[in-house]
Structures are given as structure tokens and as C-alpha cells.
């Protein structure tokens, strides 16, 4: 389970997650896929740019993805963090 609440005006983000690492990673993948599919239906070019931007963000060591966010509150991170075998 993944719940994200973002308030851009107040620069606040709250994340609630529950499950093991595999489940949470899958939830994030489904979320990204939902954005991608929605973009692709209205603008294939925007969807391709979204995909390329995410690829760059995921692979660059100094990406914002791998840095601490100043206003991020992680409410819970459930499970033992382990992958299912």
C-alpha cells in the first residue's frame, strides 16, 4: 500500500507505505505506469519525454531521487524491507 500527499504551495510531502520492499516497489511501478499511460493517450511525445526524464533521474547518482527531501515526512515504512524469495 502506498499513499502520497503532496502540497506544492506549502512544499510539504507525506508518504505512508505498507508492505515489504517488493510490494512497495511494485506499487511505485504501477503509479509511474499510470502516469505514463495517461500521458501517452493524450500526448505520445510527452509520454516519451516523461519516460526519458525518469530514466535519467533513476540512473544519475546526483539525482533528486537519491537525495533527502527537506519537507518529506515518511509516516511509516511497513514490513521487514526484505524481498520475497
> In this structure, what C-alpha cell is assigned to residue 53?
526524464
Residue 13 contacts residue 70 (beta carbons within 8 Å): no
Indicate if the pLDDT at residue 38 is higher than 60.
Answer: yes
- pLDDT at residue number 12: 79
pLDDT range class, residue 73, cuts 50, 70, 90: low
| Residue 32, all three cell numbers | 509511474
Cα–Cα distance for residue pair 31/39, rounded to 1 Å:
13
Widest CA span of the chain, in angstroms? 42
pLDDT, average across residues 45-64: 93
Contact by Cβ (8 Å): 17, 76:
yes
Q: What is the pLDDT of residue 45?
A: 96
- List pLDDT tens digits, range 11-25: 777 888 888 889 988
Predicted TM-score (pTM) of the model is 0.70
Amino acid at each position: 500500500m502506498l499513499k502520497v500527499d503532496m502540497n506544492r504551495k506549502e512544499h510539504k510531502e507525506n508518504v505512508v507505505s505498507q508492505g515489504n520492499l517488493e510490494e512497495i516497489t511494485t506499487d511505485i511501478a504501477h503509479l509511474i505506469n499510470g502516469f505514463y499511460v495517461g500521458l501517452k493517450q493524450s500526448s505520445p511525445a510527452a509520454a516519451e519525454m516523461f519516460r526519458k526524464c525518469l530514466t535519467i533521474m533513476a540512473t544519475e547518482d546526483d539525482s533528486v531521487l537519491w537525495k533527502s527531501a527537506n519537507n518529506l515526512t515518511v509516516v511509516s515504512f511497513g514490513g521487514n524491507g526484505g524481498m520475497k524469495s
